[in-house]
Amino acid sequence: MAWAGPDGIVFNKSTDEGETWLQEEIPVNPMPTGWDYEIPGIQRANGLPITKCDLSGGSHNGTIYINWSDQRNGSDDTDVWLAKSIDGGETWSEALRVNDDTAGRHQFFTWMDVDQVTGNLYFIFYDRRNYTDNRTDVYMFHLLMAGIASLIV
């Protein structure tokens, strides 16, 4: 499981159905602007992390993914991010920006899932790339694992 707090995004795990946990959390990402941020027209927004594991039996089986959003690129540019671990959460990749728009727009309230047959990742998030006001679209983004495996090492 992962959560955001004063130390950014951290990870902890139990391998015995929750009886015991690691003594210390493992850092995933500093989440430099924190998990709580402002989006125009939204009373409260946050980038709380979503944690999923690939159990597909494919080539990425066992990979743990964490998806979140933050404003590291500026308060007018909220982005959706992804990190992965291929060693049970001991180490984490650098953050990969999921949304593919130009800078200066908001993508927020993200969710992610893993297709447990193919191992592909699916993201859904609110997106304001097409507007300069508070109008908002909903985007679904699909990442083929064969295409991004080397992007987030």
Relative to beta strand 64-70, strand 50-53 is antiparallel
Q: Which domains does the chain have, with CATH numbers?
A: 2-148 (2.120.10.10)
C-alpha to C-alpha distance for 83 and 16, rounded to whole angstroms? 24
The edge-to-edge listing of strands for the beta sheet with 79-85 is 50-53, 64-70, 79-85, 96-97
- In this prediction, residue 146 carries a pLDDT of 54
- In this prediction, residue 68 carries a pLDDT of 97
pLDDT tens for 47-88 read 999 999 999 999 999 999 999 999 999 999 999 999 999 999
Q: Which residue has the tokens 């920006």?
A: 97
- In this prediction, residue 142 carries a pLDDT of 86
Task: Give the CB-side neighbour count of residue 91, counting CA atoms within 13 A.
Answer: 6
Q: Please list the ranges in the chain whose pLDDT falls under 50.
A: 148-153
- In this prediction, residue 147 carries a pLDDT of 53
